[in-house]
Amino acid sequence: MLIVCDFDGTITTHDCLNLIVQDFAAEAWAEIEPRLRAGEIDLLQAIEEEFLHVRLTEEQVVRHVLKGTEVRAGFHEFVTWTEDVGHELVIVSAGFRVLIDAVLATAGLSRLRVFSGDACFTPQGTTIQYPPSAQECASRCGMCKADAVREVVAASVAPSPLVHVGDGLSDLCVARTADIVFARAGLARLLQREHIQFYPFEDFFEVRRVLEALTPI
Ligand SMILES: [Mg+2]
Ligand SMILES: [Zn+2]
């Protein structure tokens, strides 16, 4: 199987981007999040605007993130299991490489393959970068996850069932194309609205149990 896993709020217990904006740019959060929820702006615009107001060094931001979140229960064991069984696990995130690397390094999981955006933090404000999307993504998810998955699939020898694990708006475009979806929080609500079937999860022990039951070895 090819297992595509979101990072913020999926692998981590808290969304790193939300943690930063809520704590360091609360006014921008209060102003921009309602516009995102109402569909006036898309995810990419919301992230760009919010982070203009985050005025900190990279060191300060990383320290805050490591204090505020950790890897979700069962994720370590899940990674080991995918390696033992031979499933390909890829992290695809609309978040920032600099934060993902710090969390994974702290958890001893730097070996995982990551597709994501990145951010340059300065005391004057934060600028963000995403790889260009090959196609115009309807959800403008920044780092288009469906695009990243196409890249991984194109490079793999044999087509394998696509599993997606996620929790938010940026997961929607790839969840629509996945064979098996695990969802929590906002993604679960979005999928319910579109009548797309998914397995709810709160930890990675559950994800593994379902996948093992689906593919007896
Ligand atoms: Mg997420
Ligand atoms: Zn997309």
pTM of the model: 0.95
Read off the pLDDT of residues 42-62 as tens digits, 9 standing for 90 and up. 888 999 999 999 999 999 999
Orientation of helix 58-68 relative to helix 16-24, angle to 10°: 110
Ligand 1 centre distance from Cα of residue 139 (Å):
14
Task: For residue 190, give the ligand nearest its CA.
Answer: 1
Task: For residue 164, give the ligand nearest its CA.
Answer: 1
Q: How many structural domains does the chain have?
A: 1
Ligand 2 centre distance from Cα of residue 39 (Å):
16
Measured distance CA(142)–CA(94) in Å, rounded: 6
Range of the domain at 142: 2-214
Read off the pLDDT of residues 60-96 as tens digits, 9 standing for 90 and up. 999 999 999 999 999 999 999 999 999 999 999 999 9
Orientation of helix 26-37 relative to helix 16-24, angle to 10°: 130
Residue with tokens 């006014």: 27
Task: For residue 100, give the ligand nearest its CA.
Answer: 1
Task: For residue 176, give the ligand nearest its CA.
Answer: 2
Ligand 1 centre distance from Cα of residue 155 (Å):
25
Read off the pLDDT of residues 152-178 as tens digits, 9 standing for 90 and up. 888 887 778 999 999 999 999 999 999
Both tokens of residue 126?
A: 């934060």
Ligand 2 centre distance from Cα of residue 165 (Å):
15
Task: For residue 18, give the ligand nearest its CA.
Answer: 1
Ligand 1 centre distance from Cα of residue 49 (Å):
18
Ligand 1 centre distance from Cα of residue 165 (Å):
9
Ligand 2 centre distance from Cα of residue 138 (Å):
7
Ligand 2 centre distance from Cα of residue 115 (Å):
13
Torsion of CA 59, 47, 13, 203, to 10 degrees: -140
In the chain, the N- to C-terminal Cα span, in Å, equals 13
Confidence of residue 217 (pLDDT cuts 50, 70, 90): low
Domain of 117: which CATH number? 3.40.50.1000
